[in-house]
Structure 1
Amino acid sequence: MRKMSMTNQVMLATVLGIAAGFIFQEKVEFLKIVGDLFLRLIQMSVVVLIMGAVIEAVGGLEAKELGKIGLKVFLWFMGSTVLAAVIGVVFGLILKPGVGIAFKGFESTTIQSSTESLHDIIVGFIPKNIIEAMAQANMIQVIMFSLLFGLALSLIKNEGKNGQILDFVSSFNNVILKMVSLIMKLAPIGVFCLIAPVIGNVGTGVLVTLMKFLLTLGLSAILFLIVWLIITALYCKVSLKKLIQNMWRMSLVAFTTTSSAVTLPIQIEDCKEKLGISDRISKLVIPLGMTLNSNGLSLFLSLSIITFAQFYNIQMGIGQLVQAVLLSTLACLGTVVVPGGGLVALATVMPMLNLPTESIALLAGIDWFSGMFRTLLNVDADTTVALIIAADEKELDYDIFNS
């Protein structure tokens, strides 16, 4: 008898988790501890995995190559993020998810917007202490340190000095990836125990109330993915069907866990073994994308802004719509890569458009479900940018991609 693939096991666990939540409701709350343990097992290695991946990728590059590739990556990241924000605004204006929502009790919320100034945000990109940054899982600071460390390794290598540290980092990365692959064997159990308590606690009431918003978010996310995957397939001269097939596993893990950090090890593995992207490109682009390229969050923010404007019957002119797109794009830089980060980003953007942050509690009840779409877009867009850069740099193995 043929063994069920990991992808199918996770799909089955998702369906069973949803069913268990609806049937047993609050009685499945005890499963949450197992789901949380699974998330922690994955997350405990994310910081060192990102550090190692970026250091190895940058350390293996020439300084000139890093500048050229970095500019390409940044432009593709910004282009995809702006496109996602625009699609969110357009779908919000067409489908009007905020019209007719009636929800009591949204006045109270504990979600607070960021009080940091622009100066604090910019200075916060550089860590005072890398150990402290690692302990706090501050991904931007970790990546900034890793970029400089990798650059120093690259220069030492070019000067003909001892390059054994780079070999050690590469070996260390392989050990971390093997450890995570062992943990991922528990993914079906973990996914089941994550989803069942969420469904059981939320129930159907808030889902029915905000179903229009979720449907709008889902449709706009699907449209963005279709458009972006077509652009990627045409640019890289690959089969669209094969591209979707090769990205299916990482997409499913992203959708069910709602965490880019948890999906990262699977993403890096599939980039190499299914998409044919070189390690040099994937280990540079994918970790950078986690903090600099959040298409799902951008779409979610712009759609939420339009939804709340409709909820309060506020008319937005073309200038405000453009501002909504820009704010949704900029708010994605250095965003939180674990579940729940979307609400914090939304609380930061709302005051800038004179919308009350208290109403964010309206979406708090369905944050897990909207997080599914956000994470799916984030992970898939990062992967496609890596594919595009690999094709540009002649580091895309078409034999592996088509196998």
Structure 2
Amino acid sequence: MTEAKTAGKSKLPLHWKMAIGFGIGLLVGLVVHATGNAEAGWVQDLTRYVTTPFSKVFLNLIFMLIVPLLFSALVVGIAEMGDIRALGRIGWKTLAYTVLLSAVAVLLGLVLVNVLKPGAGVDPALAQQLLVENAERARQIVASVDTQPKGLDMLLSIVPDNVLSAASDNGSILALMFFAVMFGVGMVLTPSEATATLKRGIEGVFEISMTLIGLVIRLAPYAVACFMFNLAAIFGFDLLIRLGAYVGVVVLALGLHLFVSYSVALKLAGASPLQFFRGSQEAMVMAFSTASSNATLPTALRVADEKLGLPKQVSRFVLTVGATANQNGTALFEGVTVIFLAQFFGVDLTLGQQFMVMLVCILGGIGTAGVPSGSLPVVALICAMVGVNPVGIGLILGVNHFLDMCRTTLNVTGDLTLATLVARGEKGDVRLPGQAGDAG
């Protein structure tokens, strides 16, 4: 996740443009709803010929870039651990703890969103009306629900028999991600000049994909205005209530994982959670203010060395890899968001489908692009995969920057926690937080 950059002081940051678009679309939509003009001819023409087509083009652009983006991001993310064999247990422990912490984060988010149900309570007739008004895209998505594999077939479908077919089908995207992970592992285990050249080529695809996503995201302020107008004109002030509940659940889940899950993990590693959080304060504040894991990396490296007393050979590897591959907050956010939108649109997801959501979110934490709203393609993808109308991402865009700041704080703190866990048992002068001689 990176903070939007501006070419000049006079230009507004992207997140402010998105907030303005969100506010304008929401305000106009609420006025239309309150005055009872939702069925007026001019409103119908506006949604039919302007707002819905524009939002559909925006979604299509996102879906168009999903396959090259996720494949290259996952392969590069795995390959960046590159010297897993040479690094031995440091590399494997990093990978194991990354998956474990991400799984705990997503599971926590899914439990909270299912218990608190922030998206429930919307009039089903209105939700169906919105699905109908979004015509082709909505019908294609809803129709795909019955075609999704379930139970044992779902698990077997993770291993694709045809990679190209999986890439062309949103419902089979988990199979593509599995292939990407296997491909990345294969690159790590095949050190050669040809493999190094291939890796540079895939890195090029990744960089091009991020550049294109960055260009598409520039349309987001206009797209979010269209999304919010369509939603607010139909749902009215109930939309604000559900949106507030959604933000509350995301922040609660992030807070619990930050202070409870990490504290338990640190305690099991023999470290003092209190001393850890005290020493990590500077990096956490930097992460919250910049909403950028990459921008916080230099601070995190210094904190790991000076405040937490971690060995440099561990912290440099773990924090560098973790800045892109250990995104617990992003994975949690994606899981909560998909289930919230499912509740909002009245889509009943089975345990098997939620398990699939969990798997994709864990992999998505590794393969999320480092651009503004980089988790947006993954959220849209999972929504389409489980039969949830991705038009609901307009809700996410409006509050995304604040949630981005919160989940980036969790991501960076998670990287420092991961480094502390990996440092346990490693040789050298390792001083875990809370032990004698701790600088924090």
Asked whether the two chains share a fold, i.e. TM above 0.5, the reply is: yes
What are the within-5 Å matches in structure 2 for residues 355-370 of structure 1? Answer: 355-370=388-403
C-alpha displacement of 1:67: 2.3
Contact 1:268-1:282 within 8 A present in 2 as well: yes
- Do the aligned partners of residues 315 and 133 (structure 1) sit closer, same or farther apart at CA in structure 2, a change above 3 Å counting? closer
- Do the aligned partners of residues 137 and 242 (structure 1) sit closer, same or farther apart at CA in structure 2, a change above 3 Å counting? farther
Structure 1 counterpart of 2:340, one-letter code? T
Distance in 2 (alpha carbons) for counterparts of 1:378 and 1:239:
20
Structure 2 counterpart of 1:311, one-letter code? F
Partner residue of 2:87 out of 66, 69, 74: 66
- Do the aligned partners of residues 209 and 311 (structure 1) sit closer, same or farther apart at CA in structure 2, a change above 3 Å counting? closer
Contact 2:301-2:319 within 8 A present in 1 as well: yes
Partner residue of 1:330 out of 363, 373, 376: 363
What are the within-5 Å matches in structure 2 for residues 240-319 of structure 1? Answer: 240-319=273-352
**3-state DSSP of counterpart to 1:355:** coil
Q: Aligned residues, how many?
A: 290
Aligned to 1:80: 101
Aligned to 2:232: none
Aligned to 1:32: 12
Aligned to 2:256: 223
TM-score calculated relative to the size of structure 2: 0.57
Structure 2 counterpart of 1:333, one-letter code? I
Question: Which segment is superposed worse, 93-102 or 254-263?
Answer: 93-102
Contact 1:258-1:339 within 8 A present in 2 as well: no
Contact 2:305-2:311 within 8 A present in 1 as well: yes
C-alpha displacement of 1:400: 5.5
**3-state DSSP of counterpart to 2:249:** helix
Distance in 1 (alpha carbons) for counterparts of 2:421 and 2:207:
29
1:356-389 Cα shifts (integer Å, max 9, x gaps): 2222122111111121222122111111011111
Aligned to 1:397: 431
1:314-373 Cα shifts (integer Å, max 9, x gaps): 222222222221121122222223431121221122222122222212211111112122
Aligned to 2:28: none
- Do the aligned partners of residues 259 and 365 (structure 1) sit closer, same or farther apart at CA in structure 2, a change above 3 Å counting? same
Structure 2 counterpart of 1:401, one-letter code? D
- Do the aligned partners of residues 208 and 31 (structure 1) sit closer, same or farther apart at CA in structure 2, a change above 3 Å counting? farther
Structure 1 counterpart of 2:257, one-letter code? F
Distance in 2 (alpha carbons) for counterparts of 1:334 and 1:138:
15
- Do the aligned partners of residues 85 and 237 (structure 1) sit closer, same or farther apart at CA in structure 2, a change above 3 Å counting? same
**3-state DSSP of counterpart to 1:339:** coil
Distance in 2 (alpha carbons) for counterparts of 1:77 and 1:58:
15
C-alpha displacement of 1:97: 1.2
**3-state DSSP of counterpart to 1:340:** coil
Contact 1:294-1:378 within 8 A present in 2 as well: yes
Aligned to 2:56: none
- Do the aligned partners of residues 246 and 35 (structure 1) sit closer, same or farther apart at CA in structure 2, a change above 3 Å counting? farther
Contact 2:15-2:401 within 8 A present in 1 as well: no
Contact 1:69-1:389 within 8 A present in 2 as well: yes
Structure 2 counterpart of 1:257, one-letter code? T
C-alpha displacement of 1:292: 2.1
1:23-72 Cα shifts (integer Å, max 9, x gaps): xxxxxx94736999xxxxxxxxxxxxxx9xx99x989xxx8661222111
1:212-259 Cα shifts (integer Å, max 9, x gaps): 111100111111112222223312322221111111111111122111
- Do the aligned partners of residues 33 and 93 (structure 1) sit closer, same or farther apart at CA in structure 2, a change above 3 Å counting? closer
Structure 1 counterpart of 2:287, one-letter code? A
- Do the aligned partners of residues 352 and 209 (structure 1) sit closer, same or farther apart at CA in structure 2, a change above 3 Å counting? closer
C-alpha displacement of 1:397: 2.3
Question: Which segment is superposed worse, 358-367 or 387-396?
Answer: 387-396
What are the within-5 Å matches in structure 2 for residues 182-193 of structure 1? Answer: none
1:130 aligns with 2:181: no
**3-state DSSP of counterpart to 2:99:** helix
1:249-294 Cα shifts (integer Å, max 9, x gaps): 1111112211111111111111111111111101111121123221
Contact 1:85-1:298 within 8 A present in 2 as well: yes
Aligned to 2:420: 387
Distance in 2 (alpha carbons) for counterparts of 1:376 and 1:312:
30
Contact 1:295-1:377 within 8 A present in 2 as well: yes
Distance in 1 (alpha carbons) for counterparts of 2:85 and 2:401:
42
Structure 2 counterpart of 1:220, one-letter code? A
Contact 1:84-1:295 within 8 A present in 2 as well: yes
* Runs (5+) with no aligned partner, structure 1: 1-28, 37-50, 109-113, 141-200
**3-state DSSP of counterpart to 1:133:** helix
Contact 2:345-2:389 within 8 A present in 1 as well: no
Structure 2 counterpart of 1:133, one-letter code? E
Aligned to 1:18: none
TM-score calculated relative to the size of structure 1: 0.61
